[in-house]
Amino acid sequence: MGEFVRLEVSGAVATIRLDRPKMNAVNAQLRDELAEAARAADADPAVRAVILYGGERVFAAGADIKEMAELSYAETTEHCRALQNALNTVARIGAPVVAAITGYALGGGLELALCADFRVAGESAKVGQPEIQLGVIPGAGGTQRLPRLIGPSRAKDLIFTGRHVKADEALAIGLVDKVVPDDQVYDAAKEMAARYANGPAVALRAAKEAVDAGLEVDLATGLEIERLHFAGLFATEDQKIGMRSFVEDGPGKAEFTGR
């Protein structure tokens, strides 16, 4: 699709593959290609799950500092807005998204991984928000998505110190969901994504939207969001298939169409 980002579809699983040697540093071109790939994956009805992957050596080591170092205030404001918009596009992919983290996921790289629903890391992976060491703060969601995931105190520790977190600690604090040998990261992500590839696509999208939107509002509003999504699913083919299968054959045997 692009020079630095490719969308690779195999069956019902799409992989958004970063490929900007050596460290997948996020510059303006990669940012724009990432957003384009995310939109394409989200628009493809055949795609039921998505993997974010930077290759065998590194996920993404952060923003391209050489590109950013001399930006003016006005330029930085626009740069930050564009990067947030690109990552928001990834976060809004309706299908379940798994980040396959090898090597480093730092700064903007970790912020990209935070846009996924699940994160699988290699044993030697290191993650973190090192922006404070450059005299700035995370600008693409780190101060917002990270505390929502691991809690404010732990997030402040990572953001205030800028330290690198090893895979075992990341697992312990809930920053990643699974740690596997380095050479098994992508396969583990595919295995996780495959859980959803044959699921009821509309219901999965509704569940994701209900959880994500509900985290931003009070409980009463969140329950209303849930109620509306729940009722709306009774207009889908998959609801009829799922409930009929349950009654006739028992749980877990439905073959969904995604409609």
Q: Is the pLDDT of residue 140 over 80?
A: yes
pTM (two decimals):
0.94
Q: Render pLDDT for 49-94 as a digit per residue (tens, 0 to 9).
A: 999 999 999 999 988 888 888 889 999 999 999 999 999 999 999 9
User: In CATH, what class is 5-197?
Assistant: alpha beta
Q: What are the boundaries of each domain within the chain?
A: 5-197, 201-249
Residues 7-12, mean pLDDT to the nearest whole number:
94
* pLDDT value, residue 66: 85
Residue of 149, 164, 147 lying closest to 118 (CA atoms): 149
Domain 201-249 has CATH 2.20.25.10: no
Percent of the chain whose pLDDT exceeds 90? 90
Active site residues: 111, 131
What is the C-alpha separation between 259 and 257, in angstroms, rounded? 5
User: What is the torsional sign of CA 71, 76, 78, 79?
Assistant: positive
Would the CATH topology of 5-197 be identical to that of 201-249?
Answer: no
Percent of the chain whose pLDDT exceeds 70? 100
Q: What is the 3-state secondary structure of 162-184? A: CCCEEHHHHHHCCCCCEEECHHH
3 state SS of 52 = strand
* pLDDT value, residue 230: 95
